Amino acid sequence: MADMGNDMSLSVLLCDTADEVARLRHELLVAAPDIEVDATVDAFRAVETAARTRPDVIVCSLGLEGLGGRAFLRRLSDSSPRRPSW
């Protein structure tokens, strides 16, 4: 991992279908002090969390509960002022 300096941190939102996988990924990322992590297993909650926390990186499964992965990305893109092009 690149050195991000003392004043910068990376924020990550994990969204996966399996509680165990999301929890494990969360624990692994929390072990790095310069990474802030949120995790969820529900796509609707992930959209809300992303709007609230504005993560630098989103890692998600395409088979999310509540919405499929593509629908999740579409909804995320529609709700974001920084509209990425997927």
Residue located via tokens 């969204």:
15
Tens-digit pLDDT profile for residues 23-81:
777 787 778 878 888 888 888 888 899 989 999 988 888 777 778 778 888 888 887 76
* Per-residue pLDDT, 84: 52
CATH of 10-79 among 3.30.565.10, 3.40.50.2300, 3.90.1300.10, 3.40.50.300: 3.40.50.2300
**In the predicted model, is pLDDT for residue 4 greater than 50?**
no
Confidence of residue 9 (pLDDT cuts 50, 70, 90): confident
**In the predicted model, is pLDDT for residue 1 greater than 70?**
no
* Per-residue pLDDT, 85: 53
Which 3 state secondary structure label does DSSP give 5? coil
Three-state SS sequence of 40-80:
ECEHHHHHHHHHHHCCCEEEECCCCECCCHHHHHHHHHHHC
Radius of gyration over alpha carbons of the chain, in Å?
13
Question: Exposure of 39 by Cβ count < 10 A (0-12 exposed, 13-18 middle, 19+ buried)?
Answer: buried
Contact yes or no for 12/38 (Cβ under 8 A):
yes
* Per-residue pLDDT, 17: 73
